A = this chain, B = another copy of it.
């Protein structure tokens, strides 16, 4: 699929609207279905930004297919507004109050990215 190529190529998480613009010939519903299938297959994962916009990024080497756990940090640049995975910045251990059981952590860091600074 060309959608997968696009996602792999850019290195950033793309929103549905952005993908829609790239593949203007393709119907937006088809795009929804393709992305949904990719997500269920563990090929891409969804990132919900601080703006509430959902974006999609390809799962890299350290994303286990079974659990589909994303053990890495997401970054949102306040300058270029891009969202991407920091694959090598793993989630830290959090000590929660007693009685809480953790099954997943989602971290979204905002700031200025490498390219913009």
Is A97 an interface residue, CB under 8 A from the partner?
yes
Once the chains are docked, how many angstroms separate the CA of A102 from the CA of B109? 7
Q: Which residue of chain B has the shortest Cβ distance to A52 in the bound complex?
A: B48
Contacts of A86 in B (CB 8 A): 96-97, 100
Once the chains are docked, how many angstroms separate the CA of A102 from the CA of B112? 7
Copies in the complex: 2
Total contacting residues, chain A, CB less than 8 A:
34
B103, A110: Cβ atoms closer than 8 Å: yes
Q: Which of A78-107 contact B (CB under 8 A)?
A: 78, 86, 88-89, 92, 94-107
Is A7 an interface residue, CB under 8 A from the partner?
no
B94, A89: Cβ atoms closer than 8 Å: yes
List 27 A-B residue pairs with CB atoms under 8 Å apart, sorted by A's residue number.
A48-B48, A48-B50, A48-B52, A86-B100, A89-B96, A92-B92, A94-B109, A97-B114, A99-B113, A99-B114, A99-B115, A99-B117, A100-B117, A101-B111, A101-B112, A101-B117, A102-B110, A102-B111, A104-B111, A105-B107, A105-B108, A105-B109, A105-B110, A106-B109, A106-B110, A107-B107, A107-B108
